């Protein structure tokens, strides 16, 4: 630091001059839970110098009022930017860093990639239970103050206090207050006296109070891999043994033995003393999956959404200490602090629940890819119906494609039969089950098999229709039809949970004559019970499965054979393995097909393939009936043939032609507010700013919009959106970082940006 530069600094009190002259200032770089891309610098006072570490939270004066605010320390350095006076860190919140340097870097990447604040990512990914140190008891530890040695030379202390100092001088780290008192054979008053003299400093410390984990199921041996599995296994082992990153897309139909391969890959990394993370959709975190991993590995941590804060914190600590071999969890388990990770597996990679729908709007697959790249380990993606994003990467040779084309033990994929509901004698009269499906259910039950009926609409009737307005009764707060829930006698909005009794007259035109139209799972249940009075029927949807644990209990009953017909929403479509299911009925295959969504075809294909995968798993075979009003639709046709490759080729060609993902990276910018005029006006103004600022990028950056969002009104807010896209993600991110600071939004309008959006409503 030269004298000259100091001349330009604002006036500084003399003590600060001295401090700065004696040694370099220590400066902490902080980020806050704010949608800001930049960071802040604070001076670290001397007594915190040795305690502060990146990854800890600290409290600092912030903003004009200097209110004490919590921020995350992301780096500590001596190179103080001396051109301005910095405020000082007031206190350190966490004794230990909440995140390792590697995880800090990963969260920074997320902020960059998904265009949000680094502090927002940190706030979002560290579980609340970890921040609160839930389930642990606070104790106070003491350490010698840094300048204690010098000051002690010039001091004469009472004997008891000297004893305390002596204990601390002998010990390697901070000592808990009770142990300190015992070792120094004194009470706490000498300790407090030393604290008041600032010769020793208190440090808060937490001790875990969690009990041990539940007992493991009996251990099971590994299966002998069949020839196709063995070949796939050999391929997966290559990057593992060479410790390099590679993403392997394991494309295998349901029941082809993918999970067995994950287990083998994990077995390998565990033998190197490393850990594995297995990411699954929350919905498939069933006891069945958990048992399968627990029976194969000595220590498995399962991170599901029903964990208490204390449990989550306890698992987090065990994982961080390297005591856990396998972490199984939903999306956020990608942040599990495994110290020496060997592989990441992401099962059912096509599931949309891997994308978070609130800030930070990350996709666990992309975060897993980045983490695996940084840690030089493989990432295994598994699916029967890979996303076109993943499939294209494999086709382009960026990732490795490994296929398991058949089910294990030559079990065939079930035959899929289409039922045209446009001229069926029953469906045209308003029944949910067509004549062929009704007969098939009858026969399956008579033969002692089990039946799954899938319908992706909850409630009794999705629409209460006014013949005069030719429109459904809508939620007053949302642009969404109200669903009739007969069991509660209420209309419900599935977007905002608003409820009301059904009106006698149309709220729009005031006329009587409202009609219930269409069928949801409740109505399907009534029809099934009526048609098969002797069958044991169970409905599974988010209404009937409200209590925690009810989902698992219901599936258990079905597996035990206590239920003949299981009907429900997507809750039953995924990942379940029931050998006795001989019939699956898709009650309405068209619900997804006609959505205004670029992935409507992909979702329809996935859905039919997934549902079909629920049957034919045992020795008795099985079949699938799909009811549709569009039997000639090519997507439906290809799903009947289980022909993923043709579907992917066809759909990729269409996406390429329309410049849609995966050929371009998309970002959706949504403006929302309670005053529609204001939101619409702002969306026009911003779209102009976007287009203007995008001009230098030429065709690298395309702006679409503004347009009203497909669901214009949601929870009282009107929504307009724009889309930006670029062939590679780079220009898009670069552009947004330039344009974002220029967007001065008026009060009453909020903006959200979603990179790689999956929800386009
Ligand atoms: P996926 O994950 O592709 O659905 P799984 O790994 O769950 O497939 O395998 C489907 C079924 O086949 C499971 O019941 C599993 O235990 C069994 N299985 C898998 N591999 C083998 C094998 N090599 N030998 C015998 N059974 C196997
Ligand atoms: Zn609503």
Angstrom distance (rounded) from CA 455 to CA 89: 56
Which domains, and CATH codes, for the chain?
Answer: 2-126 (3.40.1440.60), 136-208 (1.10.10), 227-409 (3.40.50.300), 411-460+519-655 (3.40.50.300), 665-755 (3.30.70.600)
Question: For position 279, what pLDDT does the model report?
Answer: 97
- pLDDT tens-digit readout, 154-211: 888 888 999 999 999 888 778 888 888 888 888 888 999 999 988 998 887 665 555 4
Contact between 753 and 668 (Cβ < 8 Å): yes
- Could you tell me which of 713, 635, 281, 153 has the C-alpha nearest to residue 478? 713
Contact between 492 and 483 (Cβ < 8 Å): yes
- Mean pLDDT (whole number) for 430-443: 96
Question: For position 7, what pLDDT does the model report?
Answer: 31
Cis peptide before 706 (omega within 30 of 0): yes
The ligand 1 atom at the shortest distance from the C-alpha of residue 408 is 12
The encoded tokens of residue 721 equal 């959106």
- pLDDT tens-digit readout, 344-393: 999 999 999 999 999 999 999 999 999 999 999 999 999 999 999 999 99
> Is 176 touching ligand 1 by the criterion CB < 6 Å?
no
Which of 249, 408, 576, 615 to mutate for ligand 1's pocket (most ligand atoms within 8 Å of CB)?
408
Q: What CA–CA distances, in Å, run from 707 to 170, 481, 665?
A: 70, 21, 19
**456: CA distance to ligand 2 center in Å?**
19
- Mean pLDDT (whole number) for 27-31: 94
Which of 260, 346, 576, 613 to mutate for ligand 1's pocket (most ligand atoms within 8 Å of CB)?
260
The encoded tokens of residue 536 equal 């044991």
- Could you tell me which of 464, 541, 265 has the C-alpha nearest to residue 381? 265
Contact between 321 and 304 (Cβ < 8 Å): no
**479: CA distance to ligand 2 center in Å?**
7
- Mean pLDDT (whole number) for 708-726: 95
**477: CA distance to ligand 2 center in Å?**
5
**37: CA distance to ligand 1 center in Å?**
46
- pLDDT tens-digit readout, 47-74: 899 899 999 999 999 988 999 999 999 9
Mean pLDDT of the chain: 89
Residue 7, C-beta contacts closer than 8 angstroms, at least 6 positions apart:
none
Angstrom distance (rounded) from CA 54 to CA 74: 5
Contact between 134 and 308 (Cβ < 8 Å): yes
> Using 50, 70 and 90 to split pLDDT, how confident is the model at 447?
very high
**224: CA distance to ligand 1 center in Å?**
10
Only one residue has tokens 């949807």, namely: 541
Identify which ligand lies nearest to the alpha carbon of 498: 2
- DSSP string covering 447-510: TT-EEEEE-S--SSBSEEEETTTTEE-B-SSSSSBPEEETTTTEEE-TTT--EEPPPSB-TTT-
Global pTM value: 0.86
| Paired strand residues for 704 | 723
Question: For position 23, what pLDDT does the model report?
Answer: 54
**761: CA distance to ligand 1 center in Å?**
37
Identify which ligand lies nearest to the alpha carbon of 492: 2
- Could you tell me which of 643, 614, 756, 759 has the C-alpha nearest to residue 284? 614
SS3 of 640-652: the string is: HCCCHHHHHHHHH
Model confidence at 626: pLDDT above 50: yes
Query: Phi, psi at residue 361, to the nearest 5°?
Result: -85, 60
Residues with CB under 5 A from ligand 2 (ion): 475, 477-478, 493, 495-496, 498
> Is 229 touching ligand 1 by the criterion CB < 6 Å?
yes
First-to-last alpha carbon distance for the chain, in angstroms, is 56
- Could you tell me which of 728, 760, 749 has the C-alpha nearest to residue 686? 749
The encoded tokens of residue 560 equal 């035990």
> Using 50, 70 and 90 to split pLDDT, how confident is the model at 80?
low
- Could you tell me which of 401, 384, 327 has the C-alpha nearest to residue 350? 384
- pLDDT tens-digit readout, 121-161: 999 999 998 988 887 666 788 888 888 888 888 888 888 99
Model confidence at 561: pLDDT above 60: yes
Q: What CA–CA distances, in Å, run from 14 to 20, 362, 543, 737?
A: 10, 48, 68, 41
Helices (H), 598-728: 600-612, 634-640, 644-658, 676-694
- pLDDT tens-digit readout, 211-243: 445 566 788 888 899 999 999 999 999 999 998
Angstrom distance (rounded) from CA 632 to CA 626: 13
């Amino acid at each position: 630091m030269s004298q000259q530069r100091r001349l330009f600094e604002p006036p500084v009190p003399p003590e600060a001059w001295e401090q700065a002259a004696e040694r370099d200032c220590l400066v902490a770089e902080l980020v806050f839970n704010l949608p800001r891309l930049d960071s802040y610098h604070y001076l670290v006072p001397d007594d915190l110098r040795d305690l502060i570490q990146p990854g800890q939270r600290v409290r600092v004066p912030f903003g004009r009022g200097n209110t004490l605010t919590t921020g995350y320390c992301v780096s500590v350095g001596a190179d103080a930017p001396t051109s301005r006076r910095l405020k000082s860190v007031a206190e350190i919140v966490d004794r230990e860093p909440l995140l390792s340097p590697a995880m800090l870097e990963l969260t920074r990447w997320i902020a960059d990639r998904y265009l949000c604040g680094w502090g927002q990512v940190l706030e979002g990914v560290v579980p609340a239970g970890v921040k609160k140190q839930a389930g642990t008891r606070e104790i106070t530890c003491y350490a010698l103050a840094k300048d204690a040695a010098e000051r002690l030379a010039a001091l004469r202390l009472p004997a008891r206090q000297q004893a305390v100092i002596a204990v601390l001088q002998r010990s390697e780290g901070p000592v808990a207050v009770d142990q300190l008192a015992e070792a120094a054979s004194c009470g706490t008053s000498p300790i407090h006296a030393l604290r008041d003299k600032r010769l020793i400093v208190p440090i808060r410390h937490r001790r875990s109070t969690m009990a041990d984990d539940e007992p493991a199921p009996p251990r099971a041996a590994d299966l002998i891999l069949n020839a196709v599995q063995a070949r796939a296994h050999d391929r997966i082992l290559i990057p593992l043994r060479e410790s390099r990153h590679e993403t392997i897309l394991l494309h295998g139909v349901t029941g082809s033995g993918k999970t067995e391969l994950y287990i083998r890959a994990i077995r390998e990394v565990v033998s190197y003393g490393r850990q594995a993370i297995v990411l699954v959709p929350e919905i498939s975190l069933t006891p069945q999956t958990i048992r399968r991993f627990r029976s194969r590995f000595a220590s498995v941590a399962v991170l599901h959404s029903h964990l208490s804060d204390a449990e989550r914190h306890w698992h987090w600590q065990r994982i961080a200490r390297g005591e856990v071999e396998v972490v199984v969890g939903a999306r956020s388990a990608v942040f599990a602090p495994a110290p020496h990770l060997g592989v990441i597996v992401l099962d059912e990679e096509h599931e949309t629940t891997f994308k978070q729908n609130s800030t930070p709007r990350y996709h666990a697959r992309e975060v897993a890819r980045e983490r695996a790249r940084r840690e030089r380990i493989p990432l295994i993606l598994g699916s029967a119906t890979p996303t076109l994003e993943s499939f294209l990467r494999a086709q382009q040779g960026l990732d490795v494609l490994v296929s398991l084309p058949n089910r294990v033990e030559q079990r065939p994929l079930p035959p899929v039969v289409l039922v045209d509901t446009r001229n069926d004698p029953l469906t045209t009269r308003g029944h949910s089950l067509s004549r062929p499906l009704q007969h098939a259910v009858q026969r399956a039950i008579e033969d002692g098999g089990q039946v799954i009926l899938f319908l992706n609409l909850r409630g009794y009737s999705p629409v209460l229709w006014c013949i005069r307005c030719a429109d459904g009764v809508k939620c007053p707060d949302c642009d969404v039809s109200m669903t009739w829930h007969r069991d509660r006698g209420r209309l419900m909005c599935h977007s905002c949970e608003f409820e009301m009794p059904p009106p006698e007259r149309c709220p729009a035109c005031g006329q009587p004559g409202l009609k219930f139209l269409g069928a949801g799972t409740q109505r399907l249940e009534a029809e099934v019970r009526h048609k098969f009075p002797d069958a044991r029927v169970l409905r599974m949807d988010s209404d009937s499965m409200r209590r925690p644990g009810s989902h698992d209990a219901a599936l258990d009953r079905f597996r035990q054979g206590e239920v003949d017909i299981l009907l429900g929403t997507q809750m039953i479509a995924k990942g379940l393995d029931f050998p006795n299911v001989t019939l699956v009925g898709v009650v309405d295959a068209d619900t997804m097909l006609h959505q205004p969504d670029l992935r409507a075809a992909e979702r329809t294909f996935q859905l039919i393939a997934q549902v079909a995968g629920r049957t034919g798993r045992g020795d008795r075979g099985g079949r699938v009936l799909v009811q549709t009003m569009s039997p000639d639709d090519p997507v439906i046709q290809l799903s009947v043939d289980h022909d993923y490759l043709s579907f992917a080729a066809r759909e990729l060609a269409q996406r390429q032609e329309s410049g849609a993902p995966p050929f371009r990276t998309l970002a959706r910018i949504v403006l929302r507010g309670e005053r529609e005029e204001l939101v619409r006006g702002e969306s026009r103004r911003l779209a102009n700013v976007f287009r203007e600022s995008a001009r230098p990028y030429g065709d690298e950056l395309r702006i679409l919009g503004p347009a009203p969002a497909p669901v214009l009104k949601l929870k009282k807010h009107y929504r307009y959106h724009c889309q930006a896209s670029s062939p590679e993600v780079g220009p898009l991110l670069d552009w947004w970082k330039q344009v974002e600071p220029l967007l001065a939004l008026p009060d009453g309008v909020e903006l959200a940006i979603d990179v790689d959006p999956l929800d386009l409503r």
